[in-house]
Structure 1
């Protein structure tokens, strides 16, 4: 049985940092105020703030709260995968339009205790047409000792077309309809 379908192709497109992308040290813009991963208006969300790094990298940190518990005293794996998805999902914004996740793979290396501060570092591996290949690690303060790692593929989208038939279900439907579909 194949353990992974994540493969970075040999033939990659040349990439440049988008002129409107966040500068190193600045927060990467959130895409939706009610997003569970990054939205400040998501009542139970993670509220992650991802900062642009040098080149095509991003960094974030997250307090592992009691409400995130899975096994006794450790983070739930689904919460960790959500955080990875959010962190790596900002990488497409460094080079151009938004992307949506089409593949996400997480390797859980060591238990992550509740009460710890989890740090993330994500990196662009390459782009091939609309596909953007990323990787990230999570650690508890020493990047040389990751507690988890992840790979993902995002596909760039036309936001208006992609969300057109779902925007009515948004907590901010009227706002989005005014902004995106005038």
Structure 2
């Protein structure tokens, strides 16, 4: 398998942003309708994501029956979504919003429906606008991962990046109101 994930050796130094939430504090969701972390997403994952020490993030997820893929196990796309959301919060520890440009997941073991999946992410570093992360998922034993992931995010200006898509959002009026503020 060819991997697109290579961490450069000449990473820029990173520093936790002064406005980043502290270790143990819940990360602010970026969109309350987000399928991953949004509280108001009707069928979403409803992930509660917390900042850890340094440049780490953690979350847990109940593997509900409607997340089933193969018989009695979590669908790989759901796991990928969870990784995307948890790892996507790591860039917020050092600066503004970022979007996924590359994500790869290695599925190591089936994840049974009814289990509690623990996810963690670490921001490995940045190179200009690119932010490199890794994630690990386990069920109860951190030394026995069920999946690992790597991703590259790119920092963006969220107002510009999402401007032409606001009308399609379920909460477009709320976003338009936010953008009209100075």
Whether these two folds match at TM > 0.5 is yes
Would you say 1:76 and 2:75 are equivalent positions? yes
List runs of 5+ in structure 2 lacking aligned partners.
none
Q: Distance in 2 between matches of 1:124 and 1:166?
A: 28
Q: Distance in 2 between matches of 1:147 and 1:95?
A: 28
> Once the two structures are superposed, what CA deviation does each residue of 1:90-141 show, in whole Å capped at 9, x if it has no partner?
0010000010000000000000000000001110111000000000100001
Q: Distance in 1 between matches of 2:119 and 2:86?
A: 7
* Runs ≥4 residues deviating over 4 A: none
Counterpart for residue 172 of structure 1: 171
Q: What SS does the aligned partner of 1:50 have?
A: strand
Q: CA deviation at 1:3?
A: 1.3
Counterpart for residue 94 of structure 1: 93
Counterpart for residue 121 of structure 1: 120
Checking the alignment, whether the CA contact within 8 Å between 1:160 and 1:181 is kept in structure 2 is no
Q: What SS does the aligned partner of 2:151 have?
A: strand
Aligned length: 181
Q: CA deviation at 1:181?
A: 3.8
Counterpart for residue 61 of structure 1: 60
Q: Distance in 1 between matches of 2:145 and 2:94?
A: 26
Q: What SS does the aligned partner of 1:165 have?
A: helix
Q: Distance in 2 between matches of 1:21 and 1:28?
A: 9
Q: CA deviation at 1:41?
A: 0.7
Q: CA deviation at 1:72?
A: 0.1
Q: Distance in 1 between matches of 2:28 and 2:21?
A: 8
Counterpart for residue 158 of structure 2: 159
Q: CA deviation at 1:155?
A: 0.3
Q: Distance in 2 between matches of 1:131 and 1:49?
A: 25
Q: CA deviation at 1:178?
A: 1.0
Q: TM-score, normalised by structure 2?
A: 0.98
Q: What SS does the aligned partner of 1:5 have?
A: coil
Checking the alignment, whether the CA contact within 8 Å between 1:27 and 1:52 is kept in structure 2 is yes
Counterpart for residue 108 of structure 2: 109
